[in-house]
Structure 1
Amino acid sequence: MPDPSEHLVTLYHLNDLGPAELRRLLPSHPDLRITEIGPDEDPRDHLGTLETATIVLAPLEKERRITAELLDAMPHCRLLQSVAVGFDGVDHRAAAERGIPVANLPGFNTDAVADWTVGALLYLLRPYAFGHAKVQRGKWGPEGVRGRDVSSLTVGIAGFGNIGRAVARRLDAFGARVLVHDPVPSEPAREYVDLDELAARSDVLTLHMPLNDATRGVIGEDVLRRMPRGSWVLNAGRGGVLDEAAVVRALDSGQLAGAALDVFTEEPLPASSPLRGRTDVLLNPHAAGVTHEAYHNLRASVIDSLDLVLSGKPPRNVVNGVAV
């Protein structure tokens, strides 16, 4: 029998995955209470609601992050579910100290992010926008649009999880040489190198690393300086991994020929950011993983995760080491 004490509180806001839709997608749990704390509401104003929560869908906004203070207001919580691959919306270490598992949803947008990464690389290597603008102005000829073949380049992948591996498979098809940096080798046939060697040997550096104390700001002045002059950097991983001020300086000096960034240290990207208004930078609003297929996968994954725990089974994809 469903437990009538189950209370799902969602701080994750997406118009078509609100309480009514969650209830429709969880028909096996008719007694489940579902409460939404909206995107314009401060969770600290809803401590009474959180006190009875047994499952919480974590927010994406850093401003509404589930902190230790909020965790102390959730004595009955037995799962904090991130509705993303990342779990920045939760203090996962504080949750572990309180015995609350934090789970994420790996893999739902792997193809989407890998496709965007390779597409962004092609955008940098073959100046599509410049060529389009040239024809629009009534001009013609190859001046200014001569690019590079992917097959002529060495691409370094920093972070070789699901997305990094998917990027590598796509680059294999283009004939690029692929180097990998990751603390846990997952494909022995790949050439694994340390970060300094990865930078020194890579014409293109693409970042797919998690954000933690070890990786915060790790791609900075020193790493970019080691890269061949006129190289490119892409980030579709986590914004805080890359020192954006160092990227701007490297672009200004010619050390980098271009950059493609889907994620940023501060989001939305501030109007004052020196990354704006440049023709050598492709900016994207943290949407590399947003496709129809990825969103279908996300919905299916979050519902499967909720149904599993509501049925009395342990959660999958726990990221903070809490055994259930």
Structure 2
Amino acid sequence: MGEHIVSLYHLNDITEAELRKHLPDHPGLRITEIGPDADPAGHRAELATATIVLAPLEKERRIDAALLDAMPNCRLIQSVAVGFDGVDHVAAAERGIPVANLPGFNADAVADWTVGAMLHLLRHYAAGHRKVEQGGWGPEGLRGRDLSALTVAILGFGNIGRAVARRLDGFGAEIVVHDPFPSEPGRQYVALEEAVARADVLSLHMPLNDATRGLLGDELLATMPSGAYVVNAGRGGVIDEPALARALDSGHLAGAALDVFAEEPLPADSPLRGRDDVLLTPHTAGVTWEAYHNLRNRLFDKLAAVLAGKSPVDVVNGVRPR
């Protein structure tokens, strides 16, 4: 049986035509697109012969255990993102199917957004703009903070966390890091509780799992310095959003910048909407032209290598290829 790529992924123009254009000739290669409005469960015939599956991003189209059982020939599920929420990677491991992701393709984009969001909060960009638009002038109510005078705690020190730290080094901020796997010598690694308690600005870049879901709740937020800020460009579910709103309402926190949310799109009744002390963006921190090209090129390179008989890289569920 020849190779059969089934794509459940539909962003960034990664179509059948694009895949064929960028993949080397391979005898018997089949490529099947299952559109963004289709339920993957309705395409079991195509999935039954799939050897490589490009995972969807939407939770509604997630590759679950039942769907994995319909993919007996699959030897790789490739997420077309850093995250891999579009597949039950634990169930895939139980079935011996490697799940791989694309780490680092948008690290610079997300790091730029993160530092920009910090400056937005610390220097009151939105309020200053609003003041000029409304005919006002002068610094009253707009006195900000210097990054060089602050401690920034980075929770999660992978590709993006390290890229944020490099940028903050240029501002002269004190940086403390919490990560279970120290990866950069010379950084100040501390326990979670200490990192949060010292953070004038808390920058979140953690994965979402059972240990981190709702991690930043009332108890931890209360330990932050008065007037501190929270920035999240990692995973929305790491923050208890009602608890964050309470900390802002009480004045304990001065502001927050969020690109990711526990539920996306952000519900209309979210207590984080309509606030002058919160910056909201629609999960676009990593969306730049450079990141777009990085993602596509890395995906094509990885697929070409697997088709050439090489083992997949960046496997996230510990499965060795068949």
Q: Report the TM-score when normalising by structure 1.
A: 0.97
2:66 to 65, 69, 73: 69
Aligned residue in 2 for 1:36: 33
The code of the aligned residue for 2:159 comes to: N
Structure 1's 15 and 109: CA in aligned 2 closer, same or farther, altered over 3 A? closer
Aligned to 1:107: 104
Equivalence for 2:77: 80
How far residue 27 of structure 1 moved from its aligned partner, in angstroms, is 3.4
- Please report how far the alpha carbon of residue 287 of structure 1 lies from its aligned counterpart in structure 2 after TM superposition: 0.7
The number of aligned residues is 321
The SS at the match of 2:168 is helix
Of the three residues 8, 23, 28, the one matched with 2:20 is: 23
Of the three residues 273, 278, 283, the one matched with 2:275 is 278
> Quick check: 1:148 aligned with 2:145?
yes
User: Partner of 1:80: helix, strand, or coil?
Assistant: strand
Letter matched to residue 184 of structure 1: F
> 2:156 aligned with 1:159, yes or no?
yes
Could you tell me which amino acid in structure 2 is paired with residue 263 of structure 1?
V
2:316 corresponds to 1:319: yes
Aligned residue in 2 for 1:182: 179
Q: What CA RMSD, in Å, does the superposition of the two structures yield over aligned residues?
A: 1.0
Task: Give identity over the alignment, percent.
Answer: 74
Cα offsets for 1:151-186 (capped at 9, x unmatched)? 010000000011001101111100000000000111
For residues 14 and 218 of structure 1, the distance between their equivalents in structure 2, rounded to whole angstroms, comes to 31
Alpha-carbon distance, 1:28 to partner: 2.6
User: d(CA) in 1 for partners of 2:15 and 2:270?
Assistant: 34
In 2, the alpha carbon distance for the partners of 1:87 and 1:44 equals 19
1:304 Cα offset (Å): 0.8
Alpha-carbon distance change, 288 to 15 in structure 1, aligned in 2, over 3 angstroms: closer
Deviation sequence 1:222-277 (CA, Å, 0-9, x none): 11100001100011001111111111000000111000001001011111111111
The TM-score normalised by the length of structure 2 is: 0.98
Displacement over 4 Å in runs of 4+: none
What pairs up with 1:303-314 in 2 under 5 angstroms?
303-314=300-311
Q: Deviations over 1:93-115 (max 9, x none)?
A: 00000000000001100000000
Instruction: Give the whole-Å Cα distance in 2 for the aligned partners of 1:101 and 1:15.
Output: 24
SS of the residue corresponding to residue 44 of structure 1 reads helix
Letter in 2 for 1:261: L
Q: Does 1:120 align with 2:123?
A: no
Tell me which residue corresponds to 2:202: 205
Q: CA deviation at 1:216?
A: 1.1
**Separation in 1 of the partners of 2:130 and 2:252?**
26
Q: How far apart, CA to CA, are the structure 2 residues paired with 1:10 and 1:31?
A: 17
Equivalent residue for 1:11, pick from 3, 8, 23: 8
Match of 1:259 in 2: 256
Query: Deviation at 1:278?
Result: 0.7
Give the distance between the partners of 1:117 and 1:285, measured in 2 at CA: 14
The residue that corresponds to 1:234 in the other structure is 231
Aligned to 1:243: 240
Q: Find the counterpart in structure 1 of residue 212 from structure 2.
A: 215
| Counterpart amino acid of residue 79 in structure 2 | S
Quote the Cα distance in structure 1 between the aligned partners of 2:126 and 2:221.
25
Q: Distance in 2 between matches of 1:28 and 1:258?
A: 53
Matches of 2:258 and 2:130, distance apart in 1: 22
